[in-house]
């Protein structure tokens, strides 16, 4: 289950140098140096407010960094935002599809926004519906689906254009364990096809499924490496223990 996947593409999918984001007086992300190799499943961990979502939003072009540089799939986020958008997929933390449209309609809309037309659109839609186990509910309004189904539709929409890199911001929050397992099977299939995955999560069993992990705390990346490296660095038996230890330190400093 935790078998590492071979990296198919050399080079970096994400690289940031001294990236910083300030909202008024709040420093959300501070001097972030992050490197993610292409083809990996990278887990970004950290407590609420540690800067994970802000980091992902900056990499997607939704927020502009206050300082620092970053490139995504070899393109500069400051100047090549639109080119990046064509080649990445993003699933936001809050479910972002149209509740008043069906599964098929949402998929069709996003696939065509990503430039798919006619025959390609039809073939790709069918493929996605099968791959994401959505065939039973194609004509159901998305608003009436349960959490696990919704997230799979969102992933289908985010990957309609076969992006090189997919950002998943807490994709399994509030999803039951069985549905989470299905979701991770799909993530592995995507990764197996060479897609780089950057995922944030609060579930430590999911963190263990990532090939590399990054821990964020108060806007800074405080640990980065494979699961074993991180366990050794903190001298803890499990990822969950590392998480709890870091949380304790954060609060200790704050007090």
Partner 1 sequence: MRFIQKVRDSSLWPMLWKEFRQMGRDRFTVGMLVGLPSIQLLLFGYAIRTEVRHVPMVVLDQSGTQESRALVTLLTNTQNFDVAGHARGQADVERVLATGGAKAALVIPPDFSKDLKRGRGATAQVIVDAVDPLAASAAISAAGLASGTGISRLTRGLPEEEAELDVRVRPRYNPGLVSAFNVVPGLVGVLLTMTLVAITSMALVRERERGTLEQLIVTPVTRSSVILGKILPFVIVGYIQMTVILALGHCILHVPLRGDLAALYLLTLPFIIAVLAVGLLISTAVKTQTQAMQLSVFYMLPSMLLTGFMFPREAMPLFCRALAALLPMTYYLEVIRSIALKGAGLAQTWQPALILTAFALVLVTVSVKRFTKTME
Which residues of this chain interact with partner 1, rule CB under 8 A? 57, 60-64, 81-82, 85-86, 88, 90-92, 94-101, 105, 109-110, 112-115, 117, 154, 157
Question: Based on CB atoms, which residue is closest to partner 1, 59 or 213?
Answer: 59
Least CB distance to partner 1 at residue 96 (A): 3
Question: Based on CB atoms, which residue is closest to partner 1, 64 or 146?
Answer: 64
Measured CA to CA, the distance from residue 166 to residue 164 in angstroms comes to 7
Least CB distance to partner 1 at residue 251 (A): 29
Question: Based on CB atoms, which residue is closest to partner 1, 34 or 111?
Answer: 111
- Joined together, the tokens standing for residue 19 give 């990236």
Residue 165 burial by CB count (10 A; 0-12/13-18/19+): exposed, middle or buried? Answer: buried
Question: Based on CB atoms, which residue is closest to partner 1, 25 or 117?
Answer: 117
Contact 139/104 with Cβ under 8 angstroms? yes
- Any bridge partners for residue 43, and if so which? 199, 213
Least CB distance to partner 1 at residue 95 (A): 7
Least CB distance to partner 1 at residue 206 (A): 22
For strands 196-200 and 165-169, give the pairing: parallel
Neighbours of 76 (CB within 10 A): 13
């Amino acid at each position: 289950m935790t078998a590492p996947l071979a990296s198919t593409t050399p080079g970096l999918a994400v690289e940031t140098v001294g990236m910083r984001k300030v909202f008024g007086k709040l420093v959300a992300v501070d001097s972030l140096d992050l490197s993610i190799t292409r083809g990996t499943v990278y887990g970004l961990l950290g407590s609420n407010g540690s800067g994970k979502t802000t980091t992902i939003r900056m990499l997607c072009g939704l927020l502009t960094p206050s300082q620092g540089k970053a490139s995504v799939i070899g393109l500069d986020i400051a100047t090549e935002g639109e080119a990046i958008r064509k080649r990445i997929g993003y699933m936001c933390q809050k479910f972002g599809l149209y509740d008043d449209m069906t599964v098929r309609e949402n998929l069709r809309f996003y696939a065509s926004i990503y430039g798919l037309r006619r025959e390609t659109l039809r073939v790709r839609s069918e493929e996605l519906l099968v791959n994401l186990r959505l065939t039973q509910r194609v004509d159901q309004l998305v608003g009436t689906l349960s959490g696990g189904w919704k997230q799979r539709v969102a992933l289908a929409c985010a990957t309609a254009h076969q992006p090189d890199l997919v950002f998943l911001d807490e994709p399994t929050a509030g999803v039951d364990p069985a549905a989470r397992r299905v979701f991770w099977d799909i993530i592995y299939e995507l990764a197996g096809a060479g897609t780089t995955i950057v995922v944030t999560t609060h579930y430590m069993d999911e963190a263990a499924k990532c090939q590399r992990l990054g821990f964020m705390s108060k806007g800074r990346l405080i640990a980065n490496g494979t699961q074993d490296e991180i366990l050794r660095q903190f001298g803890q038996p499990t990822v969950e223990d590392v998480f709890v230890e870091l949380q304790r330190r954060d609060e200790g400093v704050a007090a």
